[in-house]
Amino acid sequence: MHTRPHDSLAVEGLAAARPTKGRVLVVDDETEIRTMVLHMLNRDGYEAVGAGEGGEAVRLQRIAPADLIITDLIMPGQEGLETIMEIRRLFPKTKIIAMSGGGHAGVLDFLPVATQLGAARTLPKPFTYEQLLGAVREVLAMP
């Protein structure tokens, strides 16, 4: 009798059968933004998955590591700066882009902090399709 492989292995096998430009994990508590970024990345040939906050992102990274994580900075639960520090500690080779919309408390001031903590690039929201893909290509091309 043939047993069914574990679901995550089956998913990984499907991903391996369909070549992509890389695996990207998008972390944003705003469903609309997360969905838009996932759509842009998938449309351009990346294997993109999403998480609603940092703790979920770390769990997903442990299961199926992404080459790049794009994270919002201000989120409920585990916020972006804490997520960047944890990803740097657990997955030092994973590349990170931090994004932020500025919010109501001058959140853009956190973008330089994200760089100091290990983000390779920052994206202020709103950004264009071209700005997103340019940042993703640039960061994934880094050694």
pLDDT at 20: 79
pLDDT at 18: 55
Report how far residue 41's alpha carbon sits from residue 97's, in angstroms, rounded to the nearest whole number: 14
Domains of the chain: 20-134 (3.40.50.2300)
Report how far residue 99's alpha carbon sits from residue 125's, in angstroms, rounded to the nearest whole number: 7
Neighbours of 63 (CB within 10 A): 10
Report how far residue 120's alpha carbon sits from residue 135's, in angstroms, rounded to the nearest whole number: 9
Report how far residue 100's alpha carbon sits from residue 48's, in angstroms, rounded to the nearest whole number: 19
Neighbours of 15 (CB within 10 A): 14
pLDDT at 131: 97
Residue found by looking up tokens 């009798």 in the block: 1
What is the pLDDT tens value at each position of the chain, 143 positions in all?
Answer: 433 333 333 333 344 445 679 999 999 999 999 999 999 999 999 999 999 999 999 999 999 999 999 999 999 999 999 999 999 999 999 999 999 986 555 545 789 999 999 999 999 999 999 999 999 999 999 99
The 8-class DSSP code of residue 119 comes to -
pTM: 0.84
Supply the angle between the helices 80-90 and 110-117 in degrees, to the nearest 10: 10
pLDDT at 4: 35
